[in-house]
Amino acid sequence: MDAKIWLMMFWRRYRFILTTYSVFALLIFYAAWLEGPETVYQRYGDKREWIPGIAFGILKVSVIYYILIYQIALPFVRSNKWKPLLLKLVLFFIVLTSVEYLMEFHLGDPTIARRMNTSLQEFLIWELAIACFMTLFTIAIAVSVELRQKKARESELEKQKLSAELAAIRYQINPHFLFNSLSLIFTKCVKENMEVANAVALLSEVMRYALEPEEDGQGKATLSKEIDHMNNVIAMNQMRYNNGLRIKSMIDVDNYSARFPRLMLITLVENAFKHGDLNDSDNPLNIQLSLKQGRFNFYIGNRKKSGLKELSSGIGLDNIRQRLELLYGNDQSFNIRQQADYFIAEIKIDL
């Protein structure tokens, strides 16, 4: 995710928290005002301290809730792993309590509600109670956010699936006719030219996988099938260029049955065949795929063709970015780096 998209997402989330807590804080101040000037002076200081005090309090608490909801509670809700949550919460509240302690007992803090004659023990009990409340509250908010986002993602995926099905109906060829024809050609070629027969068989496998129905409602298949399909397409292109393409591939996977979006990897590989110079032994097409303990990484880099280049709409890359965001939300990143003569694309996902 690039910096611009991250900043837009951050501001959209933080703006909602900031606005919500601002309204809440102003209502608390108004309630104190109705109780009389003494209550206001005790909580917010004299008139010179009201505006900076309220502003500082709103800013501080809104930042705290942003971190708790989006950096701690929401990742927990999505992964349901207790140990990282507890560790993050303990560390966060230790830092927060230490800062509050310094401001309360040593630096003085006219910007928050004064706790006159508060002992250290009372202070710690108070902070612990607040921490428990904030933890439960932010987890509840995170659950609500995740359910809402999941529903939105499912709705968008359903729309995309319908659109893809309509496109398939519009442009499809009869798979049975295709495969029967390829089988006939394969049978005719076996006795005459084994290399051509192997090419036909490989083409049949590539087309069969591309045209077969999706394995689940989100358009995912096992990673093993995606890798096989990628390797078949690479082999087809090697045959096309008499095994003259320079390709370096490294695959390191500990769970081949993991689910992965169908035909996503091949979009990047075919992009390299279309726009890359793959004849330079010093700059081969570099493909690296790994899946370790649920962390997926895919890297592809190629030297660009010189001279006249084929036009590209960028639809394939935009489609990858959109699918990843819909399927994995913040648990993914898709980065593209373009240099004068080199192209790099990298996908990272917490599956």
Fold of 221-350: Heat Shock Protein 90 (3.30.565)
Contacts of 256 (CB under 8 A, 6+ apart): 222, 223, 224, 227
Nearest to 270 by CA among 312, 222, 307: 312
Question: With left for phi above 0 and alpha for psi between -120 and 50, is residue 42 left, alpha or beta?
Answer: alpha
- Indicate if the pLDDT at residue 290 is higher than 60: yes
72 vs 332: CA distance, rounded Å: 17
Report field, pTM of the whole predicted structure over 0.85: no
244 vs 238: CA distance, rounded Å: 7
Lowest mean pLDDT among 13-27, 43-57, 296-310: 43-57
Helix (H) or strand (E) holding 100: helix 82-102
142 vs 152: CA distance, rounded Å: 15
Residue boundaries of the structural domains of the chain: 3-154, 173-212, 221-350
Mean pLDDT value of segment 49-58: 76
**How confident is the model over 220-268, as pLDDT tens digits?**
889 999 999 999 889 888 888 888 899 999 999 999 999 998 888 988 9
| pLDDT bracket for residue 300 (50, 70, 90) | very high
